[in-house]
Structure 1
């Protein structure tokens, strides 16, 4: 990997480590420490994610307009200020407002990280996006493990740890990303008066939106591990430290399992579609297992299965978005993908919190297994309008 991508990877690890001190514990804090219901907790997380959706779209556009460096610094500044304010005052109303600030700042940052990864190493293809994905999950593993430990000592310390990691990320970005060069062939402007280009770009955008329909349903299901399932584990007597270990297993497996997954993809999955299909099937199996879970070990097994599925699906979608993006739209397309993922995190907690309050956990788990079928359909349909084009040929290359 080029040096620039290594700097992006290091920044992403630090950023997500900071975020992971807090997000796995959000629902637990709102429900147990602030005394709110699961539905209310889901509403707060929906506001947080909704701000993230807006931040992603703005961040993607800013990348195309002013570049990744300024956009990333803006996003980090917002999250840093929000985090330290939350550390000093996390009463109910402050918590709600500052969670919105954290969501927006994080949303501004992420599209630029992905767009810059694709730009600094265009010949790397999916490897560039996979590197950022692995970095995210290394941050999840470290942050979730430390977050549970810190919270078991005193919950207040989690907020300070969150803000401190954002300070480190700001310093890495400020000194490391300023002179980062991007591939101009990926960011140059197209001729908007060329009718054939306009038609092709419309087909590309339509393909992205169709793909994202399945992507958001996957995230609605996946986010339950961070919200509803976290509370479910508490009701079964599983401690905060054990719950954090589950996420540590997730992040560690993603980092350590990369050689095996890369070998499997190279040997058996010659298209991005096939990679996504397999991952979706694994997702369904994981929710079947968690539906039976009553003890810590079974939850760990379900998380291992879920992690294998996400290792196939999550890196594939931003890779497709990068290949679909016309020149000058790399940031915008990554902004859409990230906003859709954030949208899933926005809708999921509130929608499913209501379902659980009304029908119970078992109905939720089996319903989510069926939900993944939408992902199969959207993956099958998304490139139908690109038949015979150069971009479809790129998508069919592993």
Structure 2
């Protein structure tokens, strides 16, 4: 939750700060965010690799030190071009820390089946609170934003020092040099399907964060109403996720069913806004998206963890995080191109169709070796 709050405080005002305060163009701001995204992808992969092969707490500390150090420098010297370089460095540390936390959760899931769902719920609470506070802190001053975020990450590292417990990791041997996944082609295919699902879901999801705002403005719907859609979405996730949790058991079959239903709801969200001209249609669309979020995005990490063993849990989670980052990077670019060449309706139909294509692929997922070498149930 605190990691997400740290992200949520800074990212909403990054473009605004670069353009309005540092007097750089929106194109330059876009390049800075691209550099941040690439650095975070590298951090995700590095964090997963280090957690599996180095030290658990050491990996968290490395990411935390880079993040806190970067925020301290930005708070002291929020100037151009230093800001651009430090934001990229911040992305690297954030990727390492985020991947380490997700990897640690993957180990704990063996004892707590609901931990991914609980973590995702709290992450949404954190993001909702921080995005609300971001604008308030920015009006006080940019240093207030960076110092507040730095304070959150300091609390995070303190929690890791005192409350994160050691985990038993099975180190790789020569006999098992590439791990279970390398020996099981079906598992490798299943991992590919899950990562493809993450990419397509986020390509669609990013349309709500970017291109749909332009569509709503062209229909005479205000920026305030567009922003309020995400308040509605966050509230729906916070309220409905705990209510839906008892409806599904912790099993391979149940998790696969949740992802299928979630992908269907994601697909429906784009049909609901075809030819939309009124605000209530977009509310219906974001509601379907929120339900898809609750069903699929909370379940995909747990489903992915069923294809891991104790020598590669964090690495496999980091691959999924990288797939998500790829989808988020491609979404606005692909959406903008399709809209400019064709129309919004063509874009929504294409995204809807892509989600439908995912369904038979997800249905084809096969069980793999479960936790501690047992068959996944």
Partner of residue 158, structure 2: 171
- Distance in 2 (alpha carbons) for counterparts of 1:295 and 1:201: 50
What SS does structure 2 have at the residue aligned with 1:372?
helix
Q: Give unpaired runs (5+ residues) of structure 2.
A: none
* More displaced 10-residue stretch of structure 1: 114-123 or 328-337: 114-123
Root-mean-square deviation (CA, aligned residues, Å) is: 3.5
Distance 1:299 1:27, change over 3 A: farther
1:372 aligns with 2:360: no
Partner of residue 35, structure 2: 47
- Distance in 2 (alpha carbons) for counterparts of 1:59 and 1:157: 29
Distance 1:161 1:194, change over 3 A: closer
Q: Deviations over 1:7-41 (max 9, x none)?
A: xxxxxx1111121123344456667775645x765
1:136 aligns with 2:136: no
Structure 1 residue aligned with 2:149, among 141, 162, 170?
162
What SS does structure 1 have at the residue aligned with 2:111?
helix
1:213 aligns with 2:196: yes
Structure 2 residue aligned with 1:17, among 2, 5, 29?
5
Does structure 2 conserve the Cα–Cα contact (< 8 Å) formed by 1:215 and 1:341? yes
Q: Give 1:308 shift.
A: 0.6
- Distance in 2 (alpha carbons) for counterparts of 1:81 and 1:14: 17
| Number of residue equivalences | 372
Does structure 1 conserve the Cα–Cα contact (< 8 Å) formed by 2:194 and 2:304? no
Distance 1:254 1:261, change over 3 A: same
- Distance in 1 (alpha carbons) for counterparts of 2:6 and 2:291: 24
Partner of residue 189, structure 1: 171
Q: How does 1:147-158 map to 2 (within 5 A)?
A: 147-151=134-138, 157-158=144-145
Which structure has the higher relative contact order (CA within 8 Å, separation 6+)?
1
Q: Deviations over 1:51-79 (max 9, x none)?
A: 11111110001101223311112112222
Does structure 1 conserve the Cα–Cα contact (< 8 Å) formed by 2:5 and 2:130? yes
Partner of residue 122, structure 1: 110
* More displaced 10-residue stretch of structure 1: 64-73 or 131-140: 64-73
Distance 1:66 1:84, change over 3 A: same
Higher helix fraction: Structure 1 or Structure 2? 1
Q: Deviations over 1:113-172 (max 9, x none)?
A: 1221232341323x1111111121111111122224444666664444333322332332
The TM-score normalised by the length of structure 2 is 0.83
The TM-score normalised by the length of structure 1 is 0.79
- Distance in 1 (alpha carbons) for counterparts of 2:281 and 2:144: 30
- Distance in 2 (alpha carbons) for counterparts of 1:268 and 1:318: 13
Does structure 2 conserve the Cα–Cα contact (< 8 Å) formed by 1:138 and 1:255? yes
Q: Give 1:345 shift.
A: 1.7
Does structure 2 conserve the Cα–Cα contact (< 8 Å) formed by 1:133 and 1:315? yes
Does structure 1 conserve the Cα–Cα contact (< 8 Å) formed by 2:3 and 2:98? no
Distance 1:394 1:345, change over 3 A: farther
Q: How does 1:208-287 map to 2 (within 5 A)?
A: 208-230=191-213, 238-239=222-223, 243-266=226-249, 270-287=253-270
* More displaced 10-residue stretch of structure 1: 333-342 or 156-165: 156-165
Distance 1:188 1:369, change over 3 A: same
Partner of residue 87, structure 2: 99
What SS does structure 2 have at the residue aligned with 1:189?
coil
What SS does structure 2 have at the residue aligned with 1:340?
helix
What SS does structure 1 have at the residue aligned with 2:166?
coil
Q: How does 1:45-84 map to 2 (within 5 A)?
A: 45-84=33-72
What SS does structure 2 have at the residue aligned with 1:347?
helix
Q: Give 1:278 shift.
A: 0.8
Does structure 2 conserve the Cα–Cα contact (< 8 Å) formed by 1:137 and 1:251? yes
- Distance in 1 (alpha carbons) for counterparts of 2:19 and 2:347: 19
- Distance in 1 (alpha carbons) for counterparts of 2:5 and 2:50: 25
- Distance in 2 (alpha carbons) for counterparts of 1:87 and 1:74: 20
- Distance in 2 (alpha carbons) for counterparts of 1:27 and 1:367: 29
